[in-house]
């Protein structure tokens, strides 16, 4: 595993996956971020930023840093040894693994050590070549990639043994069923003879994709893509070991066509050339990332034989060049739930010429392959607990399991979480306020800002934090209205001067660049911003409320809420509860699940069994269309208000 000098760490940080060294660390009260600085022995050092409460093991795993493990993070294999710079609680597994001196030196099992504050983590070199890899939310995957290699030394043909070249090869790799296409058949006779009958067969699923001279079994790679509407993440995996070799992310190059799926679908409806252009941009995005991770990992792109792509239905259609219009207009119909197997070259990737693309199947037009991947990564169908999975975004996908039955739906949350339609809104980039803490006694407003720089605007998690804090301290009432200036002066005198107006609209000033700056030059939260957030969270809450009803459950039956996606994972669980975005349950039951779509894509690459599991999910999970539910509107109105309290 290496991180080459070409990695644009800043770009990755802007996408919210990692923070550059020295990023601000807010108070660790169960919200905000903590920073983990990994020193990898024999590898490249890396810093990552995660919500507090995530284990050191998961923090590493989400960011492509390999730590020894065979049990999948359950504390049983005692292999995931790391050394921390501070004393964290010692578990009984730690005691059985380490000597008192080692414990004193900071050695802990990474899967049991929770990051509740900034940590420096020393990671020993990998000692095992794992037969299993840990991915997703504590999911352990037995390695059985679709990509298989077999080195064989064949007996040369003779008049007494005139078996065909193909039969000679397949007889020698008879543990695999293979089909052969014309391109490989053209190479086969030449390579067999040039390599003196010593070759490596490369098989993906049941397709013989190449015959390589000599023994190339050590070179077996795949790339897992999380093809998001906003951000695309690529992880290069060594399929022999299950180890991530390099990770990279960048903005989806389709951005100029609009920030959300609807605007991109609209573009194709208005301009006949837009579909081709969007397809091209999706290809370029993936191809640039593929080249980047290969360069970074020192891997020849020709040794990448498969990629897995988890994307929503629109992203998947656009990548494949399929007209997305039916996804965008009622009754929201997909071309197919199971995308066909295509060659990576067909979608513009410059990898092995016959590398294949495994695309995740989709449940519905708005519960796409990214969510199926997320369900796989979080084991939604294998956990007996009542769990709620929420991928927060412009389109919010929700899955509920009572440990037996699975239901899913999509809620149109609108652009608020992406910073859209918010007066001072911006994406989660440098200068965006992402954490807000209001102290009424001190009269202070503490801000966590991405890039540790001057605040320029408010991103989605900052918006949620700001509203939650103002509800908590009483500057916003349960209906979402700012209290009167008089009431504010009376109850919160130290904060009352921040409550002012821009034009006719009431606002709360979060950051004033200079003491005498005009309000219009400040970063503020407006009354309309609050309304936007209310509509968004109302739609989401209506979604899970109706799903709970469908399974006959109450809010506090939910044993775990998984906040997923690059945005959802960075929400403050406390704030999410406070504004009613998630059911009102103890904060520790709210888990930031990380980039679960990308984790699901990794699982698909590492295990054909998991891939079958993804396909099975489609038969297991019922898709509930909310837009034709008569009770939707009443419920929505009920859920616009804020439950309040802390």
Residues in the site for a second copy, rule: CB under 8 A? 157-167, 179-182, 185-186, 188-190, 193, 320-323, 325-326, 330-337, 339-340, 342, 346, 364-365, 623, 625, 627-628
DSSP, residue by residue, 522-587 = SEEEEHHHHHHHHHHHHHHHHHHHHHHHHTT--GGG--EEEEEHHHHTTS-HHHHHHTTSS-S--G
User: SS3 for 100?
Assistant: helix
Give me the half-sphere count of Cα atoms (radius 13 Å) on the Cβ side of residue 29. 9
Nearer to a second copy, 324 or 598 (CB): 324
Nearer to a second copy, 276 or 403 (CB): 276
Smallest separation, CB 193 to a second copy (Å): 7
Nearer to a second copy, 268 or 461 (CB): 268
Smallest separation, CB 158 to a second copy (Å): 5
Q: What does residue 154 show for φ and ψ, rounded to 5 degrees?
A: -90, 155
Question: Taking a C-beta distance cutoff of 8 angstroms, is the pair 48, 36 a contact?
Answer: yes
CA 545 vs. chain centroid, Å, equals: 24
Nearer to a second copy, 365 or 406 (CB): 365
Nearer to a second copy, 185 or 478 (CB): 185
Query: What are the Cα distances from residue 600, in Å, to 144, 493, 603?
Result: 15, 50, 5
Quote the tokens at residue 138. 């504590």
Q: What does residue 453 show for φ and ψ, rounded to 5 degrees?
A: -125, -175
Smallest separation, CB 255 to a second copy (Å): 24
Q: What does residue 114 show for φ and ψ, rounded to 5 degrees?
A: -95, 135
> What span, in angstroms and rounded, lies between the C-alpha atoms of 247 and 446?
33
Smallest separation, CB 596 to a second copy (Å): 24
Smallest separation, CB 323 to a second copy (Å): 5
CA dihedral 503, 507, 508, 513 (to 10 degrees): -40
Nearer to a second copy, 215 or 346 (CB): 346
Nearer to a second copy, 76 or 627 (CB): 627
Smallest separation, CB 276 to a second copy (Å): 11
Q: CB neighbours of 256 closer than 8 A, spacing ≥ 6?
A: none
> What span, in angstroms and rounded, lies between the C-alpha atoms of 639 and 538?
5
Smallest separation, CB 362 to a second copy (Å): 9
Q: Is 421 exposed, middle or buried (0-12, 13-18, 19+ CB in 10 A)?
A: middle
Smallest separation, CB 364 to a second copy (Å): 7
Smallest separation, CB 339 to a second copy (Å): 8
Smallest separation, CB 162 to a second copy (Å): 6
Smallest separation, CB 410 to a second copy (Å): 12
**Quick count: other Cβ atoms within 10 Å of Cβ 610?**
22
Smallest separation, CB 150 to a second copy (Å): 18
Q: Is 152 exposed, middle or buried (0-12, 13-18, 19+ CB in 10 A)?
A: middle
Question: Taking a C-beta distance cutoff of 8 angstroms, is the pair 412, 445 a contact?
Answer: no
Nearer to a second copy, 325 or 383 (CB): 325
> What span, in angstroms and rounded, lies between the C-alpha atoms of 178 and 351?
21
Nearer to a second copy, 200 or 316 (CB): 316
Q: Is 569 exposed, middle or buried (0-12, 13-18, 19+ CB in 10 A)?
A: buried
Q: Alpha helices, DSSP H only, in 388-432?
A: none
> What span, in angstroms and rounded, lies between the C-alpha atoms of 170 and 35?
51
Give me the half-sphere count of Cα atoms (radius 13 Å) on the Cβ side of residue 611. 24
> What span, in angstroms and rounded, lies between the C-alpha atoms of 38 and 16?
17
Nearer to a second copy, 301 or 364 (CB): 364
Nearer to a second copy, 22 or 276 (CB): 276
CA 588 vs. chain centroid, Å, equals: 21
Quote the tokens at residue 270. 């208005």
Smallest separation, CB 393 to a second copy (Å): 21
CA 221 vs. chain centroid, Å, equals: 21
Smallest separation, CB 523 to a second copy (Å): 42
User: SS3 for 193?
Assistant: helix
Nearer to a second copy, 31 or 279 (CB): 279
Nearer to a second copy, 93 or 163 (CB): 163
The full length of the chain comes to: 646
Nearer to a second copy, 159 or 270 (CB): 159
Smallest separation, CB 192 to a second copy (Å): 9
Nearer to a second copy, 347 or 388 (CB): 347
- Residue among 376, 316, 309, 341 nearest 620 (CA): 376
């Amino acid at each position: 595993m290496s991180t080459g000098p070409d990695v644009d760490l800043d770009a990755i940080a802007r996408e919210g996956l990692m923070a550059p060294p020295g990023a601000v660390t807010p108070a660790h009260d169960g919200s905000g971020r903590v920073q983990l600085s990994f020193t990898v022995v024999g590898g490249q050092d890396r810093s990552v930023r995660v919500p507090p409460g995530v284990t050191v093991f998961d923090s590493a795993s989400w960011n492509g840093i390999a730590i020894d493990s065979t049990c999948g993070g359950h504390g049983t294999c005692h292999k995931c040894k790391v050394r921390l710079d501070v004393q964290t609680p010692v578990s009984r597994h730690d005691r059985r693994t380490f000597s008192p001196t080692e414990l004193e030196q900071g050695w802990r099992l990474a899967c049991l050590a929770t990051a509740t504050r900034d940590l420096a983590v020393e990671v020993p070199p990998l000692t095992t070549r794992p037969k299993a890899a840990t991915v997703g939310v504590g999911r352990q995957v037995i390695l059985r990639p679709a990509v298989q290699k077999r080195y064989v030394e064949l007996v040369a043909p003779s008049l007494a043994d005139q078996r065909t070249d193909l039969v000679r090869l397949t007889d020698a790799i008879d543990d695999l069923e293979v089909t052969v296409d014309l391109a490989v058949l053209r190479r086969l006779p030449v390579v067999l003879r040039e390599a003196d009958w010593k070759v490596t067969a490369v098989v993906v699923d049941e397709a013989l994709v190449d015959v390589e001279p000599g023994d190339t079994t050590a070179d077996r790679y795949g790339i897992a893509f999380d093809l998001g509407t906003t951000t695309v993440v690529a992880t290069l995996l060594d399929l022999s070991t299950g180890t991530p070799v390099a990770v990279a992310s960048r903005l989806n190059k389709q951005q100029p066509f609009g920030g959300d799926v609807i605007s991109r679908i609209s573009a194709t409806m208005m301009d006949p050339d837009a579909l081709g252009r969007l397809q091209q941009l999706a290809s370029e995005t993936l191809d640039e990332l593929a080249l980047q991770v290969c360069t970074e990992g020192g891997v020849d792109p020709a040794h990448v034989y498969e990629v897995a792509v988890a994307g929503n239905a629109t992203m998947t259609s656009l990548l494949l060049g399929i007209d997305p219009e039916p996804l965008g207009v009622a009754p929201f119909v997909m071309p197919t739930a199971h995308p066909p197997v295509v060659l990576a070259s067909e979608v513009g990737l410059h990898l092995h010429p016959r590398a294949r693309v495994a695309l995740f199947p989709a449940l519905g037009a708005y519960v796409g392959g990214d969510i199926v991947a997320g369900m796989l990564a979080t084991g939604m169908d294998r956990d007996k607990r009542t769990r709620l999975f929420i991928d927060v975004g412009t389109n919010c996908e929700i899955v509920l399991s009572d440990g037996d039955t699975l239901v899913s739906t999509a809620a149109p949350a609108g652009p608020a979480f992406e910073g859209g339609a918010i007066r001072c809104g911006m994406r989660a980039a440098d200068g965006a306020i992402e954490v807000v803490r209001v102290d009424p006694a001190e009269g202070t407003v503490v801000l966590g800002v991405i890039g540790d720089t001057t605040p320029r605007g408010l991103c989605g998690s900052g918006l949620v934090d700001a509203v939650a804090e103002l509800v908590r301290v009483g500057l916003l009432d349960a209906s979402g209205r700012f209290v009167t200036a008089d009431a504010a002066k009376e109850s919160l005198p130290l904060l009352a001067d921040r409550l002012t107006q821009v034009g006719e609209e009431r606002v709360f000033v979060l950051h004033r660049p200079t003491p005498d700056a005009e309000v219009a030059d400040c970063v503020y939260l407006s009354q309309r911003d609050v309304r936007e957030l209310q509509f968004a969270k109302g739609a989401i809450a209506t979604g899970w409320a109706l799903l709970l009803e469908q399974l006959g459950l109450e809010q506090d039956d939910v044993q775990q809420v998984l906040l997923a996606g690059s945005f959802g994972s960075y929400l403050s669980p406390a704030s999410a509860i406070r504004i009613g975005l998630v059911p009102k349950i103890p904060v520790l039951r709210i888990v930031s699940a990380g980039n679960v779509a990308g984790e699901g894509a990794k699982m698909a690459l590492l295990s054909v069994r998991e891939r079958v599991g993804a396909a099975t999910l489609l038969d297991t999970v019922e898709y509930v269309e909310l837009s034709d539910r008569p009770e939707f509107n009443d419920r929505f109105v009920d859920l616009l208000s804020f439950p309040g309290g802390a």
